[in-house]
C-alpha cells in the first residue's frame, strides 16, 4: 500500500491519530459519519415523516459499523433499548 491508499477498516484509527483522540472516540466519530451518510438522504427523501425508514436506515448503518469492527455491539443494544423505551410511551398513547 502506498501512502495515499485508504483502508476503510482503519478509518477509526486514522481519525484517532489525526485528531489526537482515543481510539474509542475515533470509533464513535467514524460511526457517526457513516450514520449521517445513511440517514441524511433518508430524512431528505421522506421529509422526516417516515420514522420507520429512519430507524431501519440507522439500524443498517450501525450494523455495518459493528460488522467492520468499528463499534462494540453493546452500544447498539443500548440504543435499541432506548428506542424501545421511547416507543413504549407512544404505544401507550395509541392504545389509550
Torsional sign, CA 79, 58, 34, 65: positive
Would residue 3 count as lying in a domain?
no
Q: What is the pLDDT of residues 29-76, one digit of tens each?
A: 888 888 888 888 888 888 877 778 887 888 888 888 888 888 888 887
What lies within 8 Å, CB to CB, of 31 at 6+ separation is 61, 62, 65, 70, 71
Would residue 2 count as lying in a domain?
no
Would residue 1 count as lying in a domain?
no
If one counts the domains in the chain, the total is 1
Q: CA 3, CA 1: separation in Å to the nearest integer?
A: 7
Q: Which domain holds residue 59?
A: 8-95
The model carries a pTM of 0.68
Would residue 41 count as lying in a domain?
yes
pLDDT at 20: 92
The share of the chain scoring above pLDDT 70, in percent, equals 85
Would residue 30 count as lying in a domain?
yes
Amino acid at each position: 500500500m502506498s501512502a495515499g491508499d485508504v483502508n476503510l477498516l482503519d478509518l477509526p484509527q486514522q481519525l484517532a491519530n489525526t485528531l489526537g483522540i482515543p481510539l474509542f472516540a475515533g470509533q464513535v466519530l467514524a460511526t457517526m459519519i457513516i450514520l449521517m451518510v445513511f440517514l441524511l438522504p433518508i430524512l431528505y427523501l421522506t421529509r422526516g415523516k417516515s420514522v420507520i425508514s429512519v430507524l431501519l436506515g440507522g439500524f443498517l448503518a450501525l450494523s455495518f459499523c459493528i460488522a467492520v469492527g468499528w463499534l462494540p455491539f453493546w452500544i447498539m443494544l443500548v440504543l435499541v433499548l432506548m428506542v424501545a423505551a421511547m416507543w413504549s410511551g407512544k404505544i401507550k398513547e395509541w392504545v389509550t
